[in-house]
Amino acid sequence: MIEWLIDIFPALDSSANLILMIGVGIGMMLFVYGAFDALTPANPAARRYRRSELGDRRSTFDAGILYNPEVDPRGLMKALMPVDRNERSALKRDLRNAGFLGPNAIVRFFGLRVGLAILLPMLMVLIVMVRRSGLWLPEDLVWLIDSTPRLVQLQIITALAGIGFFGPAWWLKRKVTARKREIEDSFPNALDLIQISVEAGLGFDAAMTRVANEMVHSAPALCQEFRMVQLEISAGGEREKALMDLASRTGVDEVNSFANVVLQSVRFGTSMSDALQIYAHEMRSSRELRAQEQANKLPVKMSAVMSALMLPAMILLIVGPVVIRWMNTFG
């Protein structure tokens, strides 16, 4: 691999050993620092506390109800995860909005980013090395490698590293947007079913559980969120905190308003059915207003496109005959 890099950059021949020594030194420093931090004894009281509650809390952590306290990364994780807690909190919120609720979601996400940033370039390097060694490769791949200059190959490796590191972040944003859209589309139907269940005599918790079981195929994301609320309440959590966590996990404004409506109805003792019916009506009105807003924006958006497409044709129709007449007169 060093010889291949030397072929790309001839000036690297004199400093290849220096670069190799620097890389080995940095790797050894990271390894020693991580091993020293891992071998450092933890607080005995905290270790006994974790050991005593590990069996009772394991199923709760696996269900995604409880989460480990926010701690700063240590050892080698400092090189993988952001040190700023605000940045980690924002990433944790995005992961929760995307449906990844595990306690190690942040670690796994950054591990995936770093792994792809290393594996994708190494795959390209491996393909080039296999081609240079004379082993068999598909003809199309051989033609692509032979027709690509060495500098372009290095640029491709750099681009693959960037794609591997920033690609998961882009995918996470798309996942968050798609999940929010799914919850927004399925939430009005779920609210109607909850209202009907409450009017039929079921309690609010039983109605939410029934709706979650009924919408497991049509709205899996919302079904998961409703079940999380009931699991958290069954585990001894407060209903107010469970509903606020529901609004925080989804990141949807309608769900946040729904949680506030339910909490106000419980706090002041008003009818849950009436509160849900009024909120359902307001939500439909709000959705209709947003649809009208989007429809009213269409003429403005279309005017720019129509002007860009029609204006050159109109100029040709108006100015064209005049230009032709001048050419015939003075030509």
* Confidence (pLDDT) at 49: 46
CA distance 277 to 194: 10
User: Is pLDDT at 119 greater than 80 in this prediction?
Assistant: yes
Instruction: Tell which wins on pLDDT, 27 or 101.
Output: 101
* CA-based nearest residue to 179, from 100, 79, 273, 264: 100
- Single-letter code of the amino acid located at 187: F
* Confidence (pLDDT) at 80: 66
* Confidence (pLDDT) at 273: 80
Average pLDDT taken over every residue of the chain: 76
Kindly indicate the confidence band of residue 61, based on its pLDDT and cuts at 50, 70 and 90.
very low
Residue 75 region, left (φ>0) first, then alpha (ψ -120 to 50), else beta? left
Residue indicated by tokens 């590191």: 165
Instruction: Tell which wins on pLDDT, 24 or 213.
Output: 213
* Confidence (pLDDT) at 56: 40
Range in 62-66, 140-144, 261-265, 294-298 the model is least confident about: 62-66
User: Is pLDDT at 62 greater than 50 in this prediction?
Assistant: no
Kindly indicate the confidence band of residue 247, based on its pLDDT and cuts at 50, 70 and 90.
confident
130-145 average pLDDT score: 77
C-alpha distance from residue 210 to each of 156, 170, 182, 193 (Å): 53, 35, 20, 9
Kindly indicate the confidence band of residue 12, based on its pLDDT and cuts at 50, 70 and 90.
very low
124-133 average pLDDT score: 81
The alpha-helical segments, DSSP class H, found in the chain are 2-8, 16-39, 44-62, 85-97, 105-133, 139-146, 150-199, 204-214, 220-234, 239-250, 253-268, 272-330
34-45 average pLDDT score: 51
* 63 in Cβ contact with 231 (< 8 Å): yes
Q: What's the pLDDT tens digit per position in 205-216?
A: 888 888 888 888
CA distance 322 to 312: 15
* Confidence (pLDDT) at 207: 87
* Confidence (pLDDT) at 231: 86
* 112 in Cβ contact with 168 (< 8 Å): yes
User: Is pLDDT at 253 greater than 80 in this prediction?
Assistant: yes
User: Is pLDDT at 141 greater than 80 in this prediction?
Assistant: no
According to the per-residue pLDDT averaged within each range, which of 40-44, 46-50, 226-230, 282-286 is highest?
Answer: 226-230
290-316 average pLDDT score: 83
* 21 in Cβ contact with 58 (< 8 Å): no
Instruction: Tell which wins on pLDDT, 16 or 320.
Output: 320
Residue indicated by tokens 């591990």: 111
CA distance 291 to 29: 58
User: Is pLDDT at 45 greater than 60 in this prediction?
Assistant: no
Residue indicated by tokens 């670690």: 107
**Percent of the chain at pLDDT exceeding 70:** 74
User: Is pLDDT at 169 greater than 80 in this prediction?
Assistant: yes
Range in 43-57, 176-190, 253-267 the model is least confident about: 43-57
User: Is pLDDT at 58 greater than 60 in this prediction?
Assistant: no
Range in 12-16, 186-190, 267-271, 308-312 the model is least confident about: 12-16
* 239 in Cβ contact with 247 (< 8 Å): no
CA distance 99 to 246: 12
Kindly indicate the confidence band of residue 11, based on its pLDDT and cuts at 50, 70 and 90.
very low
Kindly indicate the confidence band of residue 305, based on its pLDDT and cuts at 50, 70 and 90.
confident
